Amino acid sequence: MSVLVVGSVAFDTVTTPFGQATEVVGGSANYFSVAASFFTPVRLVAVVGEDFPESHLEFLRSRGVDLQGLQRVGGKTFRWVGRYGHDFNEARTVETQLNVFAAFAPKIPEAYRDSDVVFLANIDPDLQQDVLGQVKRPALVALDTMNYWIAGKPASLRKTLSQVDLLVINDAETRQLAGESNLARAARTIQGWGPRILIIKRGEYGALMRNGQDWFALPALPLEGVQDPTGAGDSFAGGTIGYLASVMRFDDATIRRAMVYGSVMASFSVEAFSLERLCTLTAPEIRVRYRQFQRLAQFDGPPEA
């Protein structure tokens, strides 16, 4: 089944201790779409300005991403400027220019309205809400957000969350959203607002899932060649939700497996700036890394103490 995504398509300027990339293609929906496209067809809802390269749109089409829902309008594409120190888990936003997103009204094409899986990638929660109002009855609605919106539009975000099944955010945002520093209690508070399932991304430490009353923890692969963590969260979401949409089962065991695919996609994404690594990725490489994850946290034998 295909997955509908709404989010940002952007130009990013990123500085890490390993280098800088200036005005490279990025954006939450962009990373998500490419990562998810390895598992399932993707329908993209977003806006770009006149300055966005046609060649990248052509690449998305070649990956099976449907661009009927992508508007191209007069003006400049969304821009994000970010910086990372040696702690890659923490992105510092230097500048956010909404540009064409400031006046964007998503219009869901007729062919997208029956989408079974909807991913509301990181974008203005009003736009996320607008999209939800235009689709029929998705089997799964997932959402990502960030500190910019948690602080800037808390009421709108809470309203959108009440219609969400699965929330994917990082640990600092979980604490900020719940106003609670204990992660376990923060997760329970947020579940009370709507989402039955929470996936908490913990950067180089992996990811946690709270599903109903159950917890699941997945480590991240220790990687030597990390270049740029930008897009890790969206690539994680793309692998996770893309896999779920491909199997259309949402039981606990399936979501655990989906998180491994999410972690695999994030691990590739961070090995280069922008979407460079995802653009050259192949399905056999994904399978090899899935096996590496499987091995990572495996141990046997009964407790002996």
Judged by CB under 6 A, does residue 123 bind ligand AMP? yes
Given the rule CB under 6 A, which of 26-34, 102-110, 125-133, 134-142 is the region that contacts ligand AMP? Answer: 26-34
Give me the residues paired with residue 71 across strands.
47
Given the rule CB under 6 A, which of 23-31, 61-69, 214-222, 252-260 is the region that contacts ligand AMP? Answer: 23-31
Q: Which of 2, 3, 8, 260 binds ligand AMP (CB under 6 A)?
A: 8
Judged by CB under 6 A, does residue 16 bind ligand AMP? no
Judged by CB under 6 A, does residue 122 bind ligand AMP? yes
Judged by CB under 6 A, does residue 160 bind ligand AMP? no
Q: At what angle do helices 28-36 and 54-62 cross, to 10 degrees?
A: 30
Judged by CB under 6 A, does residue 262 bind ligand AMP? no
Position closest to ligand AMP via CB: 26
Give the sheet arrangement for strand 19-26, strand by strand.
Answer: 19-26, 10-16, 78-84, 91-97
DSSP 76: P
Nearer to ligand AMP, 53 or 249 (CB): 53
**CB 237 → ligand AMP: shortest distance, Å?**
8
The DSSP-derived string for 225-287 is -----TTHHHHHHHHHHHHHHHHT--SHHHHHHHHHHHHHHHHHHTTSSTTHHHHH--HHHHH
**CB 114 → ligand AMP: shortest distance, Å?**
26
**CB 23 → ligand AMP: shortest distance, Å?**
11
Judged by CB under 6 A, does residue 128 bind ligand AMP? no
Backbone angles phi, psi at 80, to 5 degrees: -130, 135
**Residue count of the chain:** 305
Give me the residues paired with residue 46 across strands.
70
Nearer to ligand AMP, 139 or 226 (CB): 226
Given the rule CB under 6 A, which of 24-32, 175-183, 238-246, 283-291 is the region that contacts ligand AMP? Answer: 24-32
Rounded to 10 degrees, the C-alpha dihedral 53/54/55/56 comes to: 70
By CB under 6 A, how many residues form the interface with ligand AMP?
Answer: 17
Give the separation between CA 81 and CA 93, rounded to whole angstroms. 6
The answer to whether 13 touches 274, Cβ cutoff 8 Å, is no
Beta strands in the chain (DSSP E): 3-6, 10-16, 19-26, 42-48, 65-66, 70-72, 78-84, 91-97, 117-120, 140-143, 166-170, 197-201, 207-211, 214-218
Judged by CB under 6 A, does residue 230 bind ligand AMP? yes
Binding mask 233-252 for ligand AMP (x = CB under 6 A): xx------------------
**CB 123 → ligand AMP: shortest distance, Å?**
5
Nearer to ligand AMP, 122 or 191 (CB): 122
CA distances from 301 to 10, 217, 298 (A): 49, 20, 11
The one-letter code for the residue type at 154 is P
Q: Which of 49, 231, 242, 262 binds ligand AMP (CB under 6 A)?
A: 231
Judged by CB under 6 A, does residue 26 bind ligand AMP? yes
Residues engaged in binding ligand AMP (CB under 6 A): 8, 10, 12, 26-28, 31, 80, 96, 122-123, 148, 230-234
